[in-house]
Structure 1
Amino acid sequence: MLFSFFKKRTSKQLYTIAFYNLENLFDAQDNKFTLDNDFTPNGFKKWTTKKYKRKLSGLAKTILKIGHSTNRYPPVLIGVAEAENKFVLQDLLNTSPLNDINYSFIHYESPDERGIDTGLIYHQKYFKVLESNAIPLLVNNPDGIRDTTRDILYVRGLLNGENIHLFVNHWPSRREGAETTEYKRVTAAEVIKKKMKAIEVHEASPNYIVMGDFNDDPQSLSIQTLLEHSGLHNPMESLHIPNARGSASYRKAWNLFDQIMLSHSFYKYRKAKHSFDTANIFDHDFLKENKGKYKGNPFRTFAGKKYLGGYSDHFPVYIVLKYNK
């Protein structure tokens, strides 16, 4: 049983907060309202219940271990992307070893045409949800037709009694080209900043955690737009080494699309509050390809049509907060 992980903590109380792109966590059932045909037994990917359960097992074991070299306790908050629906998230939490932890989740169906959404998994002992909603991201393609992309998940809750505002993101992809689609991700940054301004009308110095797969690197215009005049800091910027380290790899170059940003309030010592301790990419060897020309890359579930049986094409990222007694 894993409940003992949370019974007693050391004098230095640490809390891990993570983000993980789950790489197409689809069940094997056909949803007639979304473009999920590839992830069915007769579809392009030949996706079966057996493969689905294997993926769930790998993801569950990974989530349990995120950040364990810094903090031996499992994460208390995990933002996720590319989850098909609430049922796959429930299946994930019902999978060993996560089924021994008092996790719950928040999820809203988004207009994404493929049916992939964001969600937030939270440990009910440490985080109490006060409110949540899906913030629409309204952007059009160059032809004027709306891009049915993912909503931004907003959650307000109490982490060990401290009020926290969280945003979980999966910004529009670069599929049609990074420069061509850049305006969509800049718009997403502006949507978050608009919500933050609305919060600040009623609350002085709010605590923000903005996480996600932003489909842009720390130095990209969209991320810099988000940081500008927002009071946010990106502790992951220094982790990105394009020729050596990131959370996802494309054509032998590393990207750090997966990031977690914090308000400056977490960089102050405040009694009975949380402060920033560390940030990192969870890129342990068991999550990597161990041979061939892609050695060291994330061990993904698929490479095109070919089933590899891995975890995800992204590494998780995480921060650790220290609770100041």
Structure 2
Amino acid sequence: MPLKYKFCLIFLFLLTVLFGQSKRYKIHTVAFYNFENLYDTVNDQFTNDDEWTPIGAQRWTTEKYQQKLKNLAKVISEIGMPENSNAPTLIGGAEIENRGVLEDLIKEPKLLPLDLGIIHFDSPDKRGIDVALLYQKKYFRPTSYSNIPLIIYKKEISPKEEEVLDDEIEVKKENNNRVFTRDQLLISGFLEDEEIHIIVNHWPSRSGGEKATTAFREAAGKLNRKIIDSLQQINPRAKVLTMGDFNDGPFNKSIKIVLGAYGVKAEIPEFGVFNPFEELSNKGMGTIAFRDSWNIFDQIIMTESLIKADFSTFNFWKAGIFNKPYLIQNTGQYKGYPLRNTILEAGFSDHFPVYVYLIKEFR
């Protein structure tokens, strides 16, 4: 055999030894989904849910409600595929009327085998919509959870902003003019054998205009940052994921400045936070559309302790927006938009869900 061929064989053998045995990883999908008006059909006298009843403006019947549950269950069961064949381990949710609708949801045939647990608190939101966390019990074990109120007082808001308080934000004069909005849900627990913290959010909406309501979301960002700082004071290497419908995009002040989210890994300081959805926003992607303009209101942001190249523990791999064709309106005025509820039928949501992968190398 000619010498040059012997060298080629030796080279190929070395390549096989070095790279032939690919690394194996454990993978967990972490997702967030705004369920868009997940109401039951029962009129609750303590919340403004009148339109979501059989005789209400939405003509919200049992049949529509059951179809909505099936739709959401299909989406949740598929988020993160095909990279991860298992459904998400952790699913943050928003626009949830009560615990009962979540109990109905996790009993859907596509979700029942997952044996999902529920962490939920009723919020002071006037419409009665809350945030919650669903989790696969075999992979995640919660150790503590609490709902942390966003405290804002009317006297801290400019006259212009007072005029746009919408049906998601109620001023109760009997309680020192406090502005009531959704709580932030903090959960601590173990993902397999690693401690992790999750914050589920649904920040105040833009109803009345973005600029006029920005102070509300900046206050939410300040509270979010305070929660993260508190966790890092206890453990400087705390792994924290804050997820939700922030009603602001990656470049808005509440996210970029107040929360302090960086979009480039190399720029993140110690104890900083990383927002992988900034890159997706730069690519023109979106989770919600308004007047033919897309934005990413739904995001999963994490502490820099989760973006290390060392995968001996669970760390961030990549992020995505789950926007499969069946979730998209394909006809009419809103062609190309997320396929949401209408007066005629139950859809999915006016938001696309988002997700990140956490991976760990097998040892």
Scaled to the shorter chain, the TM-score interval is over 0.9
Partner residue in 2 for 1:76: 89
Are 1:18 and 2:31 matched, yes or no? yes
Return the alpha-carbon distance in structure 1 between the equivalents of residues 339 and 238 of structure 2.
38
Match of 1:182 among 201, 204, 214: 214
Return the alpha-carbon distance in structure 1 between the equivalents of residues 233 and 239 of structure 2.
14
Match of 1:213 among 245, 251, 255: 245
Partner residue in 2 for 1:202: 234
Return the alpha-carbon distance in structure 2 between the equivalents of residues 182 and 264 of structure 1.
26
Flag structure 1 segments of 5+ consecutive residues without an equivalent: 1-9
Please show how residues 85-164 of structure 1 align to structure 2 within 5 Å.
85-141=98-154, 142=157, 143=162, 145-164=177-196
TM-aligned CA distance change 1:252 to 1:140, over 3 Å:
farther
Return the alpha-carbon distance in structure 2 between the equivalents of residues 271 and 219 of structure 1.
29
Please show how residues 1-325 of structure 1 align to structure 2 within 5 Å.
11-141=24-154, 142=157, 143=162, 145-224=177-256, 225-227=258-260, 231-240=272-281, 244-270=284-310, 272-302=312-342, 306-325=343-362
8 Å CA contact 1:193–1:226 kept in 2: the answer is yes
Cα-to-partner distance string for 1:101-121 (whole Å, 9 max, x where unaligned): 111110000000000000000
Return the alpha-carbon distance in structure 2 between the equivalents of residues 271 and 43 of structure 1.
52
Cα-to-partner distance string for 1:84-129 (whole Å, 9 max, x where unaligned): 0000011000112101111111000000000000000000111000
TM-aligned CA distance change 1:307 to 1:255, over 3 Å:
farther
- Higher mean alpha-carbon deviation, 228-237 vs 157-166, is at 228-237
**Residue 227 of structure 1, CA deviation:** 1.9
- Higher mean alpha-carbon deviation, 68-77 vs 279-288, is at 68-77
Return the alpha-carbon distance in structure 2 between the equivalents of residues 91 and 258 of structure 1.
24
Return the alpha-carbon distance in structure 2 between the equivalents of residues 154 and 125 of structure 1.
20
**Residue 192 of structure 1, CA deviation:** 1.5
What residue identity is the alignment partner of 2:64?
Answer: K
Partner residue in 2 for 1:7: none
**Residue 177 of structure 1, CA deviation:** 1.0
Return the alpha-carbon distance in structure 2 between the equivalents of residues 199 and 263 of structure 1.
11
Return the alpha-carbon distance in structure 2 between the equivalents of residues 26 and 199 of structure 1.
33
Give the number of equivalent residue pairs.
Answer: 312
8 Å CA contact 2:34–2:95 kept in 1: the answer is yes
Return the alpha-carbon distance in structure 1 between the equivalents of residues 301 and 211 of structure 2.
23
- The normalised TM-score by structure 1 is 0.92
Cα-to-partner distance string for 1:21-76 (whole Å, 9 max, x where unaligned): 00000000011000000101111111111100000000000100011032111100
What residue identity is the alignment partner of 1:28?
Answer: T
8 Å CA contact 1:275–1:324 kept in 2: the answer is no
8 Å CA contact 1:215–1:257 kept in 2: the answer is yes
8 Å CA contact 2:243–2:301 kept in 1: the answer is yes
Cα-to-partner distance string for 1:133-192 (whole Å, 9 max, x where unaligned): 000011245447433210000000101111111100000000011111111111111112
Return the alpha-carbon distance in structure 2 between the equivalents of residues 117 and 50 of structure 1.
23
- Higher mean alpha-carbon deviation, 291-300 vs 135-144, is at 135-144
Return the alpha-carbon distance in structure 1 between the equivalents of residues 55 and 272 of structure 2.
49
8 Å CA contact 2:287–2:353 kept in 1: the answer is yes
TM-aligned CA distance change 1:222 to 1:79, over 3 Å:
same
Return the alpha-carbon distance in structure 1 between the equivalents of residues 311 and 84 of structure 2.
21
1:217 aligns to what SS in structure 2? coil
Return the alpha-carbon distance in structure 2 between the equivalents of residues 257 and 207 of structure 1.
22
Return the alpha-carbon distance in structure 2 between the equivalents of residues 295 and 40 of structure 1.
28
8 Å CA contact 2:64–2:345 kept in 1: the answer is no
Return the alpha-carbon distance in structure 1 between the equivalents of residues 338 and 237 of structure 2.
38
TM-aligned CA distance change 1:270 to 1:130, over 3 Å:
farther
Q: Which has the higher helix share?
A: 2
- Higher mean alpha-carbon deviation, 196-205 vs 251-260, is at 196-205
Return the alpha-carbon distance in structure 2 between the equivalents of residues 104 and 278 of structure 1.
25
2:81 aligns to what SS in structure 1? coil
Partner residue in 2 for 1:3: none
- Higher mean alpha-carbon deviation, 288-297 vs 152-161, is at 288-297
Cα-to-partner distance string for 1:244-290 (whole Å, 9 max, x where unaligned): 53001001100100000111111114454111111010011010001
Q: Aligned Cα RMSD in Å?
A: 1.6
8 Å CA contact 2:31–2:354 kept in 1: the answer is yes
Return the alpha-carbon distance in structure 1 between the equivalents of residues 114 and 319 of structure 2.
23
Return the alpha-carbon distance in structure 2 between the equivalents of residues 279 and 201 of structure 1.
27
